[in-house]
Structure 1
Amino acid sequence: MQRNGNPNSRGNDASQDYVFSYKLNREPESRPVYHHRPAELVRAILESLLNVVTPMKAGEDTKIDGFRWLMDTESAFQIFPEADGHSHSSKTAFYEPRIDLIKKLIESIMTMVEFEQDGQVIRVDGFRLKDLQDWLVSSTGDPREVFEYAGSHCSCDCVFCCNKGNPSSIVVDDSPNRTAEEEFEEMRTRTKYFSPEASKALFPGLGCVYEVLEHPFFMEVLHLLREKISQPFRITTNGCNLSPETVARLAELKPVYLYLSLNSSSALRRQRLMRDVEPRTAIKSLPLLRQHGIPYATVIVPWPVDSINEMLDDLSSTIAYAAGHETHLVQVNLPGYTSHFSSTGLFDLPQLWRAVVSRIRELREEHDCPIVVMPTLYEENIYQPRKNLPQILGLVKNSPANIGGLQMGDVIVRINSILIHDRPQARDLLATLQQSEARTATVGVQRGHQTLEMSLDLTRNSYPYSRDMDNYLGIVFAGTGLRTSDIESLREIIEARRVKRVLFLSSELMKPTFEQCLTESHLPDKSKYEFDIAAPKNQFFGGNILMGDLLVVQDFIDCIRDYVSQKGYRPDLVIIPSSPFNLSGWGRDLTGRVYLDIERETGIPVELLHCATMYE
């Protein structure tokens, strides 16, 4: 669905609001299931509704898959078309499916009626949202919900850019090119309705994934936001625009944190990797950021544009350069690509990833900044026999944890008087301390064969640590981990369903951690039910992608069908972590397709295990 907009000219309080308008299709986007138009009209409306709401009876969820006419008890109609292996979801349905619902309702009605005005047939080709107050949704209060819409263009052309590998059906902004002024009007309107205090904001759109600092009105948007809120601005940038003037202007808007995609401290290599016409601007920005007291993460994709050894040497040099300019942390994103990026193998992924992780583990001993490898579970699965430990991966320089004597490799066993059992628990308690008015804290750690207790002065800190930006007193962990409550929720789902055969679908990376947590929790109870685990393949993206959060509905459907074919029987229940469906907030994958389609196409009950996004 395309979104157009221009300043609103209605004569009311919203007269200056941006207009959110949407095109209508005169012809259906998919083939009708029934050629009887009244039946198809009702079927299409019900299908659209049931992708947005869950029917209930006596307070319990209920499922509907068909209907009949009140005056015809013989004929029955199926709501959902037979599976054809393809998604027909609108991209707008990803973030705000209610707009997609309105669109489909109008289009369905238009198959049977004409609209009139003053007795004359009029051709309706679109609609607009009327009162934006009706479109406020829950908000985390992150100002990126407003300023990310500035990222409509990019000054680089990175050889590893993920956008080059996106399938055509992925949910990225496909609206017609708008002027910078129109984009600014949308961001200005979003700022107007953005209310962190009330935890409300305008519904999210598809957003943009390019360079926000490239936008001519970006600074003006930040100033509008800063007049309204004090929350930190977390800005992702390729650094091309980080001139001395820009850095100074950003410093006026503190608190500000940058995720700087540097990739190389060598001008020649950065130019080759990113096709940056002036690579020294980004490279020289690191001391400028330090000078102005703006904390930043240095982001590196170790892409083997030449030999692996040359790449590793440059990785070492770049991390040394960033550490020398007091980067807050270094984030190394292990490279990968989809089959849409390249249909042939570009490198040996296991060999490359192992080489990068091995080098990073050496560099952590040399530098005083945290170095994180993403996805974090890859390293943990190789080097840590025991998963989910609250082990310190790194410490932000000059943070309370760093000044207080904690060290990389320490395993946290106690925070104040509370015993710590796993990483999520440690993260939660440290985050609570970070946000509190507490001035001191005691952290007990296991260091080798010793158990030590450290007293932290939470008021002692300096750059690059920032109380506004850090979450865990300067402690950096290897990912989020798996919560004990997730396992308990799993147990509750199984017991409530009273089933015999359960299939749990996990990502390859998360599977070892999940299996360990199951064993420790004495789940499953083999006397009551059979429990099996399978890991779907990322067939939609293809290539060497293996992250669970990038799985889509069709990947899960294919996995279940393969499982049934191999086992010769059907499970009674399939349970899937909600992580791949969390981004939209509406239970939809990255193509905009609702998870309910998995059950509709396989005929096997499916339940989501609600959990935090894993990023693994």
Structure 2
Amino acid sequence: MDASDWSDMSDTLDIKPFFMTKDDDILRFSLNPSGNHLCSPSDLLGRHLSELLDLLIPTGGGRELSVDGYKLLSERQIVQRVDRVHADRNGCASDPLELYEPRIGYIKRMLESLMEVVQLESGGKPVDVDGFRLKHPPQWLTPGGGANDILAHAASRCNLHCRFCYNSDAPPALSLKPADPEVEYRHVEARIKHYAPNGKLNIFPNMGSPKEMLAHPRIEGILRQLRAKTTEVFRIPTNGAALTPAMVGILAEVKPVLLDVSLNSSSTERRSWLMNDPSPQVAIGSLARLKAGKIPFSVVIVPWPFPSRKEMLEDLRETVAFAASFDPTLIQISLPGCARSLHEKAAFPLDEVWTELRAEAGELRNMVDCPLVIRPGLFEEFDDPAAPNDPLVHGVMKNSPACRAGIRRGDRIVRVNGLPVSTRPQVRSLLTTVHQSDLKETAVLIERNGNLLDVTVGLQDYEYPYTPRTATHLGIVFASSGIPHEWVAKVKDVIVSHGAREVLLLTSKLVRPALERLLAHNGSFSGVKLHIRIPKNDFFGGNIFMGDLMVVEDFIRAAETFVKEERIRPGLVVIPTSPFHLSRWGRDLTGRVYLDIERALKIPVRLVECDPIFD
């Protein structure tokens, strides 16, 4: 891309010209050359190649090539092995940029290796360099999560310590310790300055930190500066401890906002015990304040099966009833789990507890007038492989266009604007198109108790808690996003293009039943034996089993176990892209590139595009 291309992009995306200032610390990086002359001039080239092979895939004739060595033109009789020094099977990246923008790490290590070989000079005198700075910041703008991505960088600290918190087991790059709040504030200011709202382009976009953004000492200034830059909805996950009357007032002034309030219990005693909250009444009382300020919010509850499962269920019933009385957009029951360190102290029979909570959620839906979902949503329908793609209405947001048109939980959507639908992904896609359109009304054909009913949905007919900016699908809520039929077609395309006869497909426990049904429905792969296996999540350990939380080493172990037990060496390993969704660069949560799976197994590995199942 040349200068004229950047000029055109700047005009289109409203990227303003700027001058580098001392506040642009996010564009500066330190160098730590060893000074031990460990890298020879010949080794330097191999090190560069090794780094590049974690950033790009060589091709020949349009086909991907696997490279494990090279020859120097000066020594063509010798094959040098590619040194995989950065593919440590037990290592984890400590810098988030290794996940989200690994080119920075490449530049850093290459400069350091060059400085082991050469001495930099200026005016004929040696110069000791201890850092570098990026030129032309617009070249580093990349698509990300928009304004919410920037806000997440303020979530660097937590004001509570929940019993079920997983942060102690999170990979190092996702569990950074908070820095000086003023330094963090300057970094967020720099991100806001460089942000291009029209294209949602950020400097080094990433998920920030999974802690409490409202606990940041400078959060008010961050919210106001970001609101001056964009009209996007701010979606703010919060434990509620900072939702004082003053904070709710600030949030009302920076609308549109949507909060996900992790209430967990409406009992001051139990919330205090669960979350080590010294002032539980703040969060519990915040629901009334949010409703009064007409700030839409969902309520999140993690039912914790201690001190007893009986107490867990009793508190869940009371908390759901309490939360529903303040008109949340929905209530989310997040099924509990615990990683390795927590599991050692608080083990529980996960399958039993989840099944018990699913049954309880079914009963609670009859008691409230807002949608109630469990997460992960696929567990809701785990026992029926056909259910995840059924276009069944799971709930309807109060006062939404769908609600006012008379659509109810249990209705099955048959047509949208005259277009027939047969799967959940289809109906979600059509409803999204209608929701974002300028239409004033839309026709929906539903099936209820075996009868077909025509419903006219007025897109402008709504009141709080629904708003078009903060809701989706006209207020209709589904149990999960479903599994698109197109995913099976993508799997077939990958297998056919590779020509393998024995294929190992690695997926997750929750996806497998629906996936096997889709594969059977779409016919077998001619001449191909497809083996489906579920890797164990050894990285997080405990009773964690979610597919999107698996890492490179989990996939390597699963494939090695398959080869050993089945005595079959597949010609291809297929993996969904979702465990690598945080990074455009194919990194897992630990920072390792998925290509390390192929390097370890010596078997071709291909990723199949698959969105992460957030619900």
TM-score of the alignment, normalized to the shorter chain, above 0.5 = yes
Shift of 1:496: 1.3
Alignment of 1:316-327 (within 5 A): 316-327=317-328
The residue identity in structure 2 corresponding to 1:18 is D
Q: Say which SS state the counterpart of residue 55 (structure 2) adopts.
A: coil
CA–CA distance in structure 2, aligned partners of residues 351 and 393 of structure 1:
23
Which of 122, 131, 146 in structure 1 is aligned with 2:150? 146
Which of 133, 140, 159 in structure 2 is aligned with 1:135? 140
Alignment of 1:49-448 (within 5 A): 49-81=52-84, 85-87=89-91, 89=93, 91=95, 92-140=97-145, 142-166=146-170, 169-172=171-174, 174=176, 177-205=178-206, 207-343=208-344, 346-382=347-383, 386-448=387-449
CA–CA distance in structure 1, aligned partners of residues 272 and 19 of structure 2:
49
CA–CA distance in structure 1, aligned partners of residues 45 and 404 of structure 2:
66
CA–CA distance in structure 2, aligned partners of residues 25 and 209 of structure 1:
29
CA–CA distance in structure 2, aligned partners of residues 410 and 199 of structure 1:
36
CA–CA distance in structure 1, aligned partners of residues 241 and 223 of structure 2:
19
More divergent stretch after superposition (512-521 vs 110-119): 110-119
Q: Say which SS state the counterpart of residue 369 (structure 2) adopts.
A: coil
- 2:477 is aligned with 1:476: yes
CA–CA distance in structure 1, aligned partners of residues 376 and 207 of structure 2:
24
2:19 is matched with: 13
Task: Tell me: CA distance 1:215–1:390, structure 2 relative to 1, closer, same or farther (3 Å).
Answer: same
Task: Tell me: CA distance 1:320–1:226, structure 2 relative to 1, closer, same or farther (3 Å).
Answer: same
Retained in 2: the 8 A contact 1:39–1:77? no
Cα deviation code 1:461-499 (max 9, x no counterpart): 111111111111111111221112211111211221122
Shift of 1:174: 3.2
CA–CA distance in structure 2, aligned partners of residues 131 and 574 of structure 1:
40
Retained in 2: the 8 A contact 1:95–1:206? no
2:49 is matched with: 46
Task: Tell me: CA distance 1:88–1:198, structure 2 relative to 1, closer, same or farther (3 Å).
Answer: closer
Shift of 1:126: 3.0
2:15 is matched with: none
More divergent stretch after superposition (224-233 vs 108-117): 108-117
2:6 is matched with: none
Cα deviation code 1:163-212 (max 9, x no counterpart): 0232xx4421537x532222111111111111121342211256222211
Task: Tell me: CA distance 1:421–1:358, structure 2 relative to 1, closer, same or farther (3 Å).
Answer: same
Retained in 2: the 8 A contact 1:387–1:516? no
Retained in 2: the 8 A contact 1:331–1:371? yes
CA–CA distance in structure 1, aligned partners of residues 20 and 386 of structure 2:
59
Cα deviation code 1:90-112 (max 9, x no counterpart): 53210101101111212222333
The residue identity in structure 2 corresponding to 1:23 is S
TM norm structure 1? 0.92
CA–CA distance in structure 1, aligned partners of residues 585 and 481 of structure 2:
22
CA–CA distance in structure 1, aligned partners of residues 495 and 75 of structure 2:
40
Shift of 1:119: 4.2
Shift of 1:39: 4.0
Shift of 1:582: 1.0
Q: Say which SS state the counterpart of residue 139 (structure 2) adopts.
A: helix
The residue identity in structure 1 corresponding to 2:167 is N
1:3 is matched with: none
CA–CA distance in structure 1, aligned partners of residues 35 and 326 of structure 2:
57
1:600 is matched with: 599
- 2:600 is aligned with 1:610: no
Shift of 1:228: 2.0
Shift of 1:382: 2.9
CA–CA distance in structure 1, aligned partners of residues 566 and 340 of structure 2:
29
Cα deviation code 1:107-155 (max 9, x no counterpart): 2223333333444444433333333222111235x31121111112211
Q: Say which SS state the counterpart of residue 473 (structure 1) adopts.
A: helix
CA–CA distance in structure 2, aligned partners of residues 386 and 138 of structure 1:
34
TM norm structure 2? 0.92
Retained in 2: the 8 A contact 1:411–1:447? yes
RMSD: 2.2
Task: Tell me: CA distance 1:413–1:589, structure 2 relative to 1, closer, same or farther (3 Å).
Answer: same
Cα deviation code 1:537-566 (max 9, x no counterpart): 101111000100000000001111111111
Shift of 1:24: 3.0
Cα deviation code 1:343-373 (max 9, x no counterpart): 3552111111111111111000110111111
The residue identity in structure 2 corresponding to 1:154 is C
More divergent stretch after superposition (445-454 vs 208-217): 445-454
User: Number of aligned pairs?
Assistant: 596
More divergent stretch after superposition (39-48 vs 432-441): 39-48
1:8 is matched with: none
More divergent stretch after superposition (230-239 vs 438-447): 438-447
Retained in 2: the 8 A contact 1:139–1:196? no
Q: Say which SS state the counterpart of residue 597 (structure 1) adopts.
A: helix
Cα deviation code 1:516-546 (max 9, x no counterpart): 1111111x32x42111111111011110001
Shift of 1:423: 1.1
Shift of 1:323: 0.4
Q: Say which SS state the counterpart of residue 299 (structure 2) adopts.
A: strand
Task: Tell me: CA distance 1:115–1:239, structure 2 relative to 1, closer, same or farther (3 Å).
Answer: same
CA–CA distance in structure 2, aligned partners of residues 593 and 164 of structure 1:
20
1:5 is matched with: none
Task: Tell me: CA distance 1:28–1:42, structure 2 relative to 1, closer, same or farther (3 Å).
Answer: farther
- 2:490 is aligned with 1:489: yes
Q: Say which SS state the counterpart of residue 519 (structure 1) adopts.
A: helix
CA–CA distance in structure 2, aligned partners of residues 131 and 217 of structure 1:
28
The residue identity in structure 1 corresponding to 2:134 is L
CA–CA distance in structure 2, aligned partners of residues 15 and 325 of structure 1:
47
CA–CA distance in structure 2, aligned partners of residues 16 and 73 of structure 1:
49
Q: Say which SS state the counterpart of residue 94 (structure 1) adopts.
A: helix
Task: Tell me: CA distance 1:579–1:603, structure 2 relative to 1, closer, same or farther (3 Å).
Answer: same
Q: Say which SS state the counterpart of residue 227 (structure 1) adopts.
A: helix
Cα deviation code 1:223-249 (max 9, x no counterpart): 112222111111111111111121122
Retained in 1: the 8 A contact 2:93–2:173? no
1:6 is matched with: none
1:22 is matched with: 29
- 2:40 is aligned with 1:37: yes
Alignment of 1:501-520 (within 5 A): 501-520=502-521
